[in-house]
Chains A and B, each alone.
Chain A
Amino acid sequence: MFQILHDVNIDWLGNRRWFIGISVLLMLAGLGSAIVRQATGRDAFNLGVDFKGGTVVTARFKQRPADDAIRAALVGKGLNDAVVQPVTDRTDTVLIKVPLEGEGQDGRARVREALNSFGTETAPATELEADPNAAYKIVGTDAVGAIAGAQLRNKAIAVTLAALVGILFYIAVRFEWTYGAAAVIAVFHDVLVTLGFFSIFQLEVSLTVIAALLTLVGFSVNDTIVVFDRIRENRKLHRRDSLYKITNDSINQTLSRTIIANGLVFLSVLAMVLFGGDVLRGFSLALFIGVVFGTYSSVAVASPIMVWWEQRLEAANRAAALSFNQPPVRGGARPAQVAPGPRKQRSTGAGRA
């Protein structure tokens, strides 16, 4: 049997301060980038036309002029803020991004006017190669108005939050509220960290990036559930062990699966980044970052939060039971000996290792 990991025994919860610290640091870095950019008058995020409004024209040339020449032609027609961006997949194609203008302004028509200085465009129904006289062809446009942009943005945020709430409910029903909350916090962390990367490196946030974030939500929760599932199972099997030990054991037992499965997803996403073309690049990049942190968070963020929460609940219940001399409200069905203090447990954990 060829095996990546053998009988791992890592004290994940013992190192939780480190893990949480790193996560907080990453989130603060992203948040800092967004705030600093906003405060200095730049955009916190490099929003694409989907959210900001504006026009992107994809033009294909027989002989592509230099970017500066295209820019000069655009400025000549009054398109001063247009951005010319080469396409990495094809050298004959450029993206021309025109920011949002007043109502009735037609970005496509104005770009065409500017490009006509390089020669004529092919007729709509013919391909560029088939027309000997034409110099270029507009092969695609995306024009989004201000209303649609704001609407798409709000919708994207609303859908993401709604999906998180749906997940929270499902896990709450299948496990406990604390598990659900921990999973959702972890996944929220993944989304924030990924968005932070997009702010720091000013990668373009488009509609497909939002789709990627939602996929990431699915993936990360996926991983978290695999661990939680094992915790649930182990709590039934090893009733005398503490939640602390059970959680550590469960993470270790599922670790090889976590690494293999996420490694494979990582490989598929890598294939998308490298071969998926420009249109999918934002999507693949968001997932690329997201898969790494999704894996990290399901191991290093979700479980510590869940354990911390459960321990507090147990402590509260014990206190309530003592003061009212009644059985505990929750945890009645649980093993009685569940929650030793983390500090004490860490010393035993070290001894075991």
Chain B
Amino acid sequence: MKKQNLLLRVIIIVVVTLLGLYAVIGPRHRPTLADFKWSGIKQSLATNIHLGLDLQGGSHLVMRVKTEEFLRRLTEDNFVAAQNAAKDAGYDVKGGRADIGPGNYRVVVEPADTSKTAEIKEAVEKKVELGDTSVWSYSGSGGTLTWSMTGAAERTLADNATTQALNIIESRINALGIAEPTLQTHGAQTSHQILLQMPGVQDPERVKDVLRGESRLELVHVIGPPSPQPATTYPSEAEAINSLNSAGTVPPNRKVLPYQERNETAADQTQPKPKQWVVVEIPAIIDGSELRNALASQSQGGRADEYEIDFSLKKAGADKFGAWTGSHINEYMGVVLNGEVRSIAFIKSQIYDRGQITGRFSKQTAEDLALTLRSGALPAPIEYLEERTVGPSLGADSIKAGVRASLVGLALVIFFMLVYYRGSGVNAVVALILNMILMMAGLILFGATLTLPGIAGIILTIGMAVDSNVLIFERIREELRSGKTIPSAVDLGFNRAFITIIDTHVTTIISSLFLFVFGTGPIRGFAVTLVIGLLINLFSAVYVSRTIFIWLLSRRKMESLSI
């Protein structure tokens, strides 16, 4: 090798090493003297390396948006609307149903006069979104009208519901003031899952409750004689249904809902009020999408620890609400939250844009509820699939154990290499330490997080890295044994071993890439460190190690090689 070539190699190695060192322990601000002290270096190291939740502590939540529930509600709403539209147009409807199953969402309407299907179809599609042929495909046979949701629309609607849920969850998390959350979709698109990571949050109970809050708010007309008669309630669901006089079924424009006066505050816990049932009219007068704002406030005239929620409506909702209340003075109106009547009040006078949800909430419940109402209703309920929390002390234990295992592993390997390969062992040790530094730098530069399995990846990389050197050294020994001169044995050893090293590295990288692309959480952290470590190994174990040999050989004519 020429001298210049050696010089170039040395410059490249020194520059890369320094850059790597800077990336790992360099400060990210203008360096001061303190940054060169041990404590300063530790400080910089801590800020540079992003630790995973398992090491720094925090919560990891995987939730699923129940999109099938969204599609079910959509189908049911359309069924009710279709029936009402047909009736409004003067056609009697004998029966029908919302036909719901996995991958099967259909609205079936059976008119009394089967010869009028074409007219009914026209009347329905004029008023209801069932006319949207990109979502619903119509088929009529035997005097019934059927609208089926197309498969493509089902997927699109489900995806949209997930995106919408993601946005709402994001606004709720921001409102809760959680620091540095990560929120993203999780797994395959069709799984409708959302991953939320919250560093530092040790007990996610409250967050979970707030996120889960569906906050479907509806203001409904409660059926019954007007005030001064008290609001009509029934002690059981069956009695409520019987009052409808429709042979045990609920007609499409009515709904039976549970009603329970809440006893959230401590004083009332001992005497829960019995659950009652009321009959309400659907569709609702207005729903939560018309909400402009919602705030928790202390109950007026109630106890000091009782809270209620004041809300105001947007312009369009206020107009609708004003018109309805104006024509229903003295009748009863119910506030329905998530399918349960929370409070019933009679209309004293026309109301436009303000209302209250009373119900003796505790302060926190009222505040959380107001928060979820402001962020809007979730399009579908969510369920939690996975919840992992790690306290900072547990994380610190893991770091300690991981670092200890790495150091012991490293020490054992270094000891063996120095004993077995003597002078050349130093080569391997230099390469190994450089590999560690650059691996950390790689993690930092790629913005990857270091997890506990990631530390395992580092320990394994120690093993793989030293394997490359063993391959090379064994090969050089073989060539020396077969009588080659030292320079040509070194040359041949590197060249031959390099082919093998490439093959072994590529196969491991292939399997790691699968881990990275398809794996989850901990497995991913492991794959990242392994891939970075292997790529760097091609530089440290081959290029750097060879440069040291070149340098040794260039210094003087060697009689023997310490290997």
A residues apposed to B, CB below 8 Å:
1-3, 58, 60, 89-90, 103, 108-109, 124-125, 127-128, 137-145, 147-148, 151-152, 155, 158-159, 162-163, 166-167, 170-171, 174, 207-208, 210-211, 214-215, 217-219, 221-222, 225-226, 229-230, 233, 253-254, 256-257, 260-261, 263-265, 267-269, 271-272, 274-277, 279-280, 283-284, 287
Contacts and interface: CB of A to CB of B under 8 A. Distances in A.
Nearest to B208: A106
Contacts of B453: 208, 211, 280, 283
Given A261-B470, A276-B402, A280-B456, A225 B412 contact: no
A267 B409 CA distance: 6
A124 B503 contact: no
Given A159-B514, A211-B515, A217-B511, A275 B408 contact: yes
Contact of B386 (A138, A144, A261): A144
Interface stretch (B174-182, B337-345, B392-400, B438-446): B392-400
A257 B518 contact: no
Contact of B388 (A143, A162, A171): A143
Interface string B131-166: 000000000000000000000000000000000000
B503 A141 contact: no
A140 B404 contact: no
Contact of B385 (A148, A219, A265, A274): A148
Closest 9 CB pairs of A and B: A277-B401, A265-B463, A139-B391, A148-B385, A268-B409, A218-B508, A271-B409, A163-B511, A276-B405
A261 B514 contact: no
* Interface size classification for chain B: 35 or more
9 contacts: A141-B387, A141-B389, A145-B384, A162-B514, A208-B453, A268-B412, A276-B404, A276-B456, A283-B456
Interface stretch (B221-229, B246-254, B363-371, B521-529): B521-529
B478 A253 contact: yes
Contacts of A230: 500
A268 B519 contact: no
Nearest to A123: B203
Contacts of A219: 464, 508
Given A159-B515, A268-B412, 14 more contacts: A139-B393, A143-B384, A147-B64, A151-B187, A151-B191, A167-B507, A211-B523, A219-B464, A222-B507, A229-B499, A264-B467, A267-B416, A269-B459, A276-B405
A148 B62 contact: yes
A225 B503 contact: yes
A276 to B, nearest CB: 4
B239 interface: no
Contacts of B409: 267-268, 271-272
B530 interface: yes
Interface of B: 54, 62, 64, 187, 191, 202-203, 205, 383-394, 397-398, 400-402, 404-406, 408-409, 412-413, 416, 419-420, 422, 452-453, 455-456, 459-460, 462-464, 466-467, 470-471, 474, 477-478, 496, 499-500, 503-504, 506-508, 510-515, 518-523, 526, 530, 563
Given A268-B413, A271-B408, A276-B401, A207 B522 contact: yes
Give the most central of A128, A147, A230, A233: most B CB within 10 Å.
A147
B507 A225 contact: yes
A261 B466 contact: yes
B511 A218 contact: yes
A228 B466 CA distance: 20
Contact of A140 (B384, B390, B496): B390
A221 B521 contact: no
Contacts of A124: 202-203
Contacts, number: 223
A2 B191 CA distance: 58
A141 B384 CA distance: 14
Nearest to A58: B394
Contact of B401 (A89, A207, A265): A89
A148 B193 CA distance: 10
A346 B282 CA distance: 88
Interface of chain A: mostly helix, strand, loop or mixed: helix
A161 B205 CA distance: 38
A163 B523 CA distance: 14
A211 B520 contact: no
Contacts of A229: 499-500, 503
B485 to A, nearest CB: 16
A276 B478 CA distance: 37
Contacts of A264: 412-413, 416, 463, 466-467, 470
Contacts of A256: 474
Given A145-B383, A151-B187, A279 B452 contact: yes
A215 B386 contact: no
A2 B420 CA distance: 6
A108 B388 CA distance: 11
A226 B523 contact: no
A163 B413 CA distance: 29
A2 B453 CA distance: 36
A184 to B, nearest CB: 11
A269 B419 CA distance: 20
Contacts of B460: 215, 265, 268, 287
Contact of B504 (A148, A222, A277): A222
Contacts of B515: 159, 163, 211, 214
Contacts of B513: 166
B456 A272 contact: yes
B267 to A, nearest CB: 23
Given A148-B386, A155-B518, A125 B470 contact: no
Contact of B412 (A144, A170, A267, A279): A267
A163 B385 contact: no
A230 B464 CA distance: 19
A317 to B, nearest CB: 26
Contacts of A127: 392-393
Contacts of A208: 453, 456, 522-523, 526
